[in-house]
Amino acid sequence: MNGKLCVGLVFGGRSGEHEVSVVSAGSVAGALDRSRYEVIPMGIDRSGRWADAGTAAAVLAAASATPNEVPEFSGATRLDPRLQDGSLDVVLPILHGPFGEDGTIQGLCEVLDLPYAGCGVAASAVTMDKVLSKRLFREAGLPTPRFETLTAAEWGRERIRCEARGLALRLPLFVKPARLGSSVGISKVNDAEEFAGAVELALGYDDLVIVEEGIPGREIEVAVLDGEPPLASLPGEVVPGHEFYDYADKYLDDACRLLAPAPLDPGQVAEVQRLALAGFAALGCEGMARVDFLLDRRDGRFLLNELNSIPGFTSISMFPRLLGLSGVGFGEVLDRLIECALARHARRQRLAAAALRPLEVRARPGAG
């Protein structure tokens, strides 16, 4: 169709970040170069059903025009038929949290043999999982706060021992569900007596919980955009308005401030950019990620906190702002993401073809 690339822009979804995703997709739709791309809006409602084409287009148009009033919508089908009928050249998932950022949509695209932007299945699942992420940081020798893990089963069976393990770390502690986001279910534990309640709260969201040493200091974020070579942006800073960067800070009030760029000296900028690229590589990321750090005020060290494989893309979001400051405009960010998606798909097809050849040999009558 008219030589343009058909981009399936997927938004909404089943996570608590449904609205943010719709707003992000609205601003992505506005930044995609219409001389190169045909934008195909694809909306997933809160229960996981896909909206029909007309509804998805209307929701996206409304989100672009009035980002403060995101319309509710409901889907009609288990799966958008356009995923399977050759309508799409590439999928651009702008979904946050579970069932979007966690490898599930990516797996769907793999099964359908559709190119998609951003991290692959494994890296998406790993970035969503704080325990796996931190094990891989440690394995790569990258600095991250000390931590312990607790499962629901362990907590049920040997609670005293779990408390002893968690409290062996230095207070204050952060207790978090291992695989969520938006600060949901996270508590800061200032006192040993608060520990059990914090674990119970986190266990309400996931049966794996991570307990981390709290780091006093600043929160620094770097955008990484893949390419040859990947690019690390100038760092930004989140200044929480609450005791930590909690759910209310992120979505409910305007108490927190975003500084872009972060006030850091050139040596610190170079160091945090180096660690951002190392974190991106350690988790096997592709396409993009926002890499979040804690800057320890006691010794000036940057510690990796987490990577977000589909960061916010609203007009005030850090990811596009930081890349903009680093000289990569919003449209160019999207061009690069789509290029990476197509290049990976082509590479994977070649590798898949190579992987099939030995099987053909083995299947020959008389062999093996």
Nearer to ligand ADP, 80 or 237 (CB): 237
Q: What's the rounded Cα separation, in Å, for the pair 6 and 89?
A: 5
Tokens of 137: 């940081």
Least distance in angstroms from the C-beta of 151 to ligand ADP: 19
User: Is 107 among the residues that bind ligand ADP (CB under 6 A)?
Assistant: no
| DSSP H or E segment with residue 352 | helix 330-362
Is 163 part of the annotated catalytic residue set?
no
- Pairing state between β 37-44 and 5-12: parallel
Q: Which stretch binds ligand ADP (CB under 6 A): 37-45, 62-70, 240-248, 346-354?
A: 240-248
Q: Which residues contact 47 (CB under 8 A, 6 or more apart)?
A: 14, 74, 75
Q: Which amino acid is at 274?
A: R
Q: Is 273 helix (H, G, I), strand (E, B) or coil?
A: helix
Q: Which stretch binds ligand ADP (CB under 6 A): 38-46, 151-159, 173-181, 282-290?
A: 173-181
Instruction: Tell me which residue has its CB nearest to ligand ADP.
Output: 245
User: Is 143 among the residues that bind ligand ADP (CB under 6 A)?
Assistant: no
Which of 246, 306, 317, 344 is an active site residue? 306
Q: Per-residue x/- mask for ligand ADP, residues 278 to 317, rule CB under 6 A? A: --------------x-x----------xx-----------
Q: Which stretch binds ligand ADP (CB under 6 A): 156-164, 211-219, 335-343, 345-353?
A: 211-219
Only one residue has tokens 């200044």, namely: 239
List the interface residues with ligand ADP, window 37-66 (CB under 6 A): none
Q: Which amino acid is at 195?
A: F
Only one residue has tokens 């509804």, namely: 55
Is 182 part of the annotated catalytic residue set?
yes
User: Is 144 among the residues that bind ligand ADP (CB under 6 A)?
Assistant: no
Is 17 part of the annotated catalytic residue set?
yes
Of 5, 15, 35, which Cα lies nearest the Cα of 308? 15
Only one residue has tokens 């651009």, namely: 92
Only one residue has tokens 């998609």, namely: 116
Least distance in angstroms from the C-beta of 132 to ligand ADP: 13
Among 71, 240, 241, 261, binds ligand ADP (CB under 6 A): 240
Is 190 part of the annotated catalytic residue set?
no
Nearer to ligand ADP, 104 or 133 (CB): 133
Q: What's the rounded Cα separation, in Å, for the pair 147 and 214?
A: 10
Q: Which stretch binds ligand ADP (CB under 6 A): 75-83, 175-183, 192-200, 331-339?
A: 175-183
Nearer to ligand ADP, 264 or 307 (CB): 307
Of 70, 99, 138, which Cα lies nearest the Cα of 310? 99
Nearer to ligand ADP, 286 or 306 (CB): 306
Nearer to ligand ADP, 66 or 190 (CB): 190
- Axis-axis angle for helices 266-282, 130-139 (nearest 10): 110
User: Is 211 among the residues that bind ligand ADP (CB under 6 A)?
Assistant: no
Rounded to the nearest 5°, which phi and psi values hold at 132? -60, -40
Among 20, 83, 95, 186, binds ligand ADP (CB under 6 A): 186
Q: What's the rounded Cα separation, in Å, for the pair 196 and 199?
A: 5
Is 251 part of the annotated catalytic residue set?
yes
181 phi-psi bin (left φ>0, alpha ψ -120 to 50, beta other): left
C-beta separation of 214 from 174 below 8 A? yes
Is 245 part of the annotated catalytic residue set?
no
How does DSSP classify residue 181? -
Summarize as ranges the residues that interact with ligand ADP (CB under 6 A).
145, 174, 176, 181-183, 186, 212-215, 219, 240, 244-245, 292, 294, 305-306
Catalytic positions, written as ranges: 17, 182, 251, 290, 292, 306, 308, 312
